[in-house]
Structure 1
Amino acid sequence: MNKILQEAFNQSTYQLTGHGSRNVQVLKDAFDNVDGQLDSDLYGEGKVIENFQDKMAAFLGKEKAVFFPSGTMAQQIALRIWCDEKGLPKVAYHPLSHLEIHEEDGLKELHNIKTILIADETRAIELKDVVSMEESVACLLLELPQREIGGQLPSYETLEDISKYCRKKGIRLHLDGARLLEVLPFYEKTATEVCQLFDSVYLSFYKGIGGIAGAILAGEDKFIAKSKVWKRRYGGDLISLYPYIISADYYFNQKSHKMPLYYENAKELADFYNSCHSVYTLPEVPVSNMFHVHFPYSKEEIEPGLTEVMRKTGVGFINHLRATGESSCYFEVSVGDRYEKVPKDEVKRAFQKLDEWMLNKFPS
């Protein structure tokens, strides 16, 4: 990470992304009105955890739910259960799935599960990719949205078609719904309506809503009973998880209903980026509150410009850039509470300055 870029972002008056700093205040706010005499959970039991699990099961339209300290743990366990059920240690997912590129091959090394990568890595999975699989699998995982390609999504009709096909073929369908809340405004569906298409669902509590950590895994009663056994095997039943649970509940209540606002603001912000010379977003029109901003120039060429504009305008675009090649780079945008607090005149002025810098630096 470029320290100068990070410093310019941190010192800016306004930031365009996220909810705010991930400091201890995030936890203090969540506990501000909590009764200090509230009993903690104890190894996965107690009202504080059970009530929240029931609340999330109802929200997702599933029979039961269990709270996990991490989504990585939850999803590996979900896929293991489905593989055991069918006696077939094979699952399919996108080439840029979190399990494939961020988990050190945990699914393969811990469970000896073979992964089948389907679809071109530049787009979301479509029905044709599922139908054309040459190997049988126990489970198909769909990530909504597909983060590593800018948060792209299949249509809701495609989800319905894939769900019908999987049920016909006896393939379990698992939802990597880390950012499920963020895609509901685009689909114009409730969480229950989306989740009814899937056999199991994972939801994160630190990504879109800004909690501390933790995740929910939801599904049928028998599936969740098995997942609790695996949670114990993984060491996921900490003596108490209440700091994560209480903060998850607090920020879920605070932010889940604001996803339509974040979505509309993301589309507005993407328009600003796309109005700048040699800058484009993926997708061009966001389908959630996240998208990627791309430059057809190297990271080393772009960083000075972003740093200069942030320092001159006091508007923070981002704190890091990622190279995609020798002459290309991008950064990820996730719109939250911060964007709404930035005066529109300041936003427009910052993008005018960015456009001017790009034109001067790269006139052709």
Structure 2
Amino acid sequence: MSTTKQLAETYKNSKYQVPGHGPRNIHVLQNALAELDGNLESDIYGKGQVIEEFEKKLAAILGKETAVFFPSGTMAQQIALRIWCDQKSVKKVAYHPLSHLEIHEEDGLKKLHLIESVLLADKTRLIRLEDVKNMDTDVACLLLELPQREIGGELPEYEELVAISEFCREKEIKLQLDGARLFEVLPYYQKSAAEICQLFDSIYVSFYKGIGGLAGSILAGDEEFTKEAKVWKRRHGGDLISLYPYILSADYYFEQRKNRFPQYYEQAKELASFYNGCHGITTRPVVPVSNMFHVHLPFPKETLEPVFQAVYEQAGVGLAMALHAVDEASCYFEVSVGDNYGGIPKEALQHAFRVLDEKMKEV
């Protein structure tokens, strides 16, 4: 067995796992459905009480006229950008070079919709107001991801968001929020979801990341926008005969966790301080701005996999299921704090980091 697989197995078998809400097994769905009336009627091809009430609920929370439930965020965001491009008759959109659309979707936006991407900033930093002002081509829409996951979950300051929003409205550029982790950033901004979303013309939110549902997403905007989104959802095959397992689990875990994100945020800052106290280890950001951050290690992945496995075996605490190579000399992993963290005894956690620190010094 490779060291990568050994690390994953040891992580799964450790008494405590630090990140996330727990295993993604069928209990995620069973728990959500356990107390529901079995006679509740399912949605059918995008219609029915189950889906329509959830869409209205989320539209109100996000401060938008209407919302549409999608089985995936990939589908939702491509459709949002297509709508804005068609409206302006401009087949260009701008976003970060490490946007999900650019690196994880097999060029779906380009191949399916013939939309060209304009990449702003670079892979090491956030999009700034000056990047938007200095675009040398006309675009239909600017997409901003909050937080910017691939660089550790960094965030612009709220004042800069406001300035970007005002500039886009002045220049008639639509602003789309990749808010896959929208609720995770509210504690840092000290704003409501609606206050953040009022800066944007359309919003996508995921229900399986920090919220921990089965799958699914919401796309919200004004009535004209969502009416068109429903047409494109049908064209993309997103109107399954029933989506209720995703909707009901999204609603269940949203209600269960919507008020816990301030707690996750404070715990993430504590956890990052533990990592930064270990020899050679740094986090990005040093002080997290949400419940997620990246942990960077100045040694090759292959060198550190046995080290982390030994920590898990000795301390009984799993820190990460996998390490990812940055280059030949360094690696990193991502951390998202959820329900798991609060269930770990402090002495067990502190012991794990003492062991990690010792073993990093040995390396």
Fold conserved (TM > 0.5)?
yes
Kindly state the Cα deviation for residue 95 of structure 1 after the two structures are TM-superposed.
0.2
Partner of 1:157: 159
Find 1:105's aligned residue among 100, 104, 107: 107
Partner of 2:287: 285
Distance between the aligned counterparts of 1:6 and 1:179, measured in 2?
A: 25
Partner of 2:192: 190
Distance between the aligned counterparts of 1:195 and 1:149, measured in 2?
A: 22
TM-score for the superposition, normalised by structure 2: 0.99
Kindly state the Cα deviation for residue 123 of structure 1 after the two structures are TM-superposed.
1.1
State the SS of the aligned residue for 1:136: coil
Partner of 2:44: 42
Q: Does 2:125 match 1:123?
A: yes
Q: Where in structure 2 are the equivalents of 1:226-245 lying within 5 Å?
A: 226-245=228-247
Q: Where in structure 2 are the equivalents of 1:226-265 lying within 5 Å?
A: 226-265=228-267
Kindly state the Cα deviation for residue 360 of structure 1 after the two structures are TM-superposed.
1.5
Partner of 1:31: 33
Q: Where in structure 2 are the equivalents of 1:293-308 lying within 5 Å?
A: 293-308=295-310
Residue ranges of structure 1 left out of the alignment (5+ in a row):
none
1:125-172: CA deviation from partner (whole Å, max 9, x where unpaired): 110110011111000000000000000011100100000000000000
State the SS of the aligned residue for 1:257: coil
Distance between the aligned counterparts of 2:191 and 2:172, measured in 1?
A: 26
State the SS of the aligned residue for 1:329: strand
Distance between the aligned counterparts of 2:131 and 2:58, measured in 1?
A: 31
TM-score for the superposition, normalised by structure 1: 0.99
Partner of 1:138: 140
* Alignment size in residue pairs: 361
Q: Does 2:329 match 1:324?
A: no
- Percent identity between matched residues is 64
Kindly state the Cα deviation for residue 40 of structure 1 after the two structures are TM-superposed.
0.4
Partner of 1:69: 71
Letter in structure 2 aligned against 1:7: E
1:174-222: CA deviation from partner (whole Å, max 9, x where unpaired): 0000000000000000000000000000000000111000000000000
Distance between the aligned counterparts of 1:278 and 1:11, measured in 2?
A: 27
Partner of 1:176: 178
Distance between the aligned counterparts of 2:362 and 2:64, measured in 1?
A: 55
Q: Where in structure 2 are the equivalents of 1:191-210 lying within 5 Å?
A: 191-210=193-212
Distance between the aligned counterparts of 2:304 and 2:297, measured in 1?
A: 8
Kindly state the Cα deviation for residue 256 of structure 1 after the two structures are TM-superposed.
1.3
Kindly state the Cα deviation for residue 120 of structure 1 after the two structures are TM-superposed.
1.7
Letter in structure 2 aligned against 1:320: A
Distance between the aligned counterparts of 2:80 and 2:122, measured in 1?
A: 25
1:75-107: CA deviation from partner (whole Å, max 9, x where unpaired): 000000000000000000000000000000000
Q: Where in structure 2 are the equivalents of 1:206-221 lying within 5 Å?
A: 206-221=208-223
Kindly state the Cα deviation for residue 19 of structure 1 after the two structures are TM-superposed.
0.1
Q: Does 2:92 match 1:90?
A: yes
Partner of 2:356: 354
Distance between the aligned counterparts of 1:300 and 1:249, measured in 2?
A: 41
Distance between the aligned counterparts of 1:105 and 1:142, measured in 2?
A: 18
Partner of 2:54: 52
State the SS of the aligned residue for 1:308: helix
Distance between the aligned counterparts of 1:120 and 1:97, measured in 2?
A: 11
Kindly state the Cα deviation for residue 121 of structure 1 after the two structures are TM-superposed.
1.2
State the SS of the aligned residue for 1:267: helix
